A and B are shown apart, each in its own frame.
Chain A
């Protein structure tokens, strides 16, 4: 089984995001970069399937030079090789352009399943997996918490509002991973050592034949709207504080 796992390098969830004074983006100083957590679930699932069914896991990432670290992390977890698409013109690309670059890199390699995170926790777009599936002409199953491969089909679990769907899809397909799919492993020390020698192909947009035409442009990045200062509710005892809170929620906020 040939499996592709797409990964993106993003700021760690504990990062305090600061907007640049000119509002052109975020200030990257001091950011700790990690593999997008949802992509990590995809890498883990890819490795588990490979271990069960044999085959190869190829990691594909679009990102600046630093993203190589994230590819190496996935290789250290157990993937065989990587493709790093690095091009300054892709740094501010939109999901369609990123998916086009991924599709161009993936269409030339064999694949049965492609894993992506259900969204990246930086731009939160959640579009790339589905666009990639469309560009490759294969089905998608998104936001998945369970995967079972059976011959040429895959059975997955997809939570939606108030229900869980059990979906069957033909292969090849794109699966976007949701938390709950698995518990990703840590890279072992021998794994880290081995990863240094694993091959990573470097490509740019031109070598992939991808034209860069950003259609959804972030024109401004802004800090979140300020919240008015809150009120600490005082009182003699918990009962009195609770009574005052209930009153405020009813009379002032009018939310109950």
Chain B
């Protein structure tokens, strides 16, 4: 019988990404309800030394495959190894992050394991011994409860939503062989062009300062950049601003852009089109600054200021600076 709550961790350059701890903490909670073990898979090159860190977040056992073939990530190498471990051990639940890498890998695993998966979940619980997932659909315009009837029951977790909880275990570490011939891999990463802005990606940001049509032009985003710098935030944009060519595509928040869930979302000059609200509606706190009192964004905002954003934002930057000093 399928047993064990498994996670596929994610690391870059030998450092765990936060989603790995979110996965471990969530798996621990589910495993305790089921009376099962938490087992983590760690793939990479020169990463054996970090495996023990997972014990801090409730992992009982780590399977480590340490081989140059796993760096940089390719779907082929990772999916083959994870699928072979999963087929050998038959876990009841398999969790991954709904990060760029996790989305690519998890979907391939659904194919390899011929199972079902709830994507980008925001809540997971055990009901009558089965995994019940809650996930936004239509970019958050509604939510679906999903039950997977095959094993492993797979789910991917939206980054930044599940809490990281320390729960020290003495994780046992097992090295596993790599069943891959590098010559057989059909994809190859030729280049990694790092974003040198030093900003956290929108999907992982704790705070987002976002601007829409009300910014009036690309040159005015400097006031949002200044506020973002003080807050340690990432700057986002509405579809209107991206389509106008004011901001790059990667900054777009909304149904056809990024779906985000920061602790704080500051919407400046954004009216709140349905497709935008869908993309940021799960933010913990929403602030709207807009001179139009009837803008739909105010219906979603926790705090609203009806005024000229070109006057409010610089003042807000000053005030926040004072508070943080």
Contact = CB atoms under 8 A, between A and B. Distances in A.
Interface of A: 11, 13-17, 19, 26, 37-38, 94-96, 99, 121-135, 138-143, 145, 155, 158-170, 173, 179-180, 214-225, 227-228, 230-233, 237-239, 241-243, 245-250, 253, 255-256
What are the 8 tightest A-B residue pairs by CB atom distance, in nearest-first order? A134-B111, A216-B116, A215-B116, A130-B107, A242-B315, A246-B319, A160-B100, A238-B311
B120 interface: yes
Interface in B277-325: 278, 281, 284-288, 298-308, 311-313, 315-316, 318-320, 322-324
Interface of B: 72, 75-76, 79, 99-101, 103-104, 106-108, 110-112, 114-120, 132, 135-150, 186-195, 200-201, 203-204, 207, 231, 249-250, 252, 254-257, 259, 263-264, 273-275, 278, 281, 284-288, 298-308, 311-313, 315-316, 318-320, 322-324
B145 A167 contact: no
A242 B116 contact: no
Contact of A223 (B142, B286, B301): B142
Contacts of B186: 138-139, 169-170, 173
Interface of B is mostly: mixed
A214 B147 CA distance: 10
Contacts of B300: 227, 230
Nearest to A222: B143
A245 B142 contact: no
B187 A121 contact: no
Contacts of A242: 305, 312-313, 315-316, 318-319
Contacts of B150: 215
Given A230-B304, A241-B312, A122 B138 contact: yes
Contact of B304 (A124, A218, A223, A231): A231
Contact of B187 (A17, A125, A168, A237): A168
16 contacts: A99-B111, A123-B144, A124-B137, A126-B120, A127-B107, A130-B104, A133-B111, A143-B100, A162-B194, A180-B250, A219-B146, A238-B312, A242-B312, A242-B316, A248-B303, A255-B264
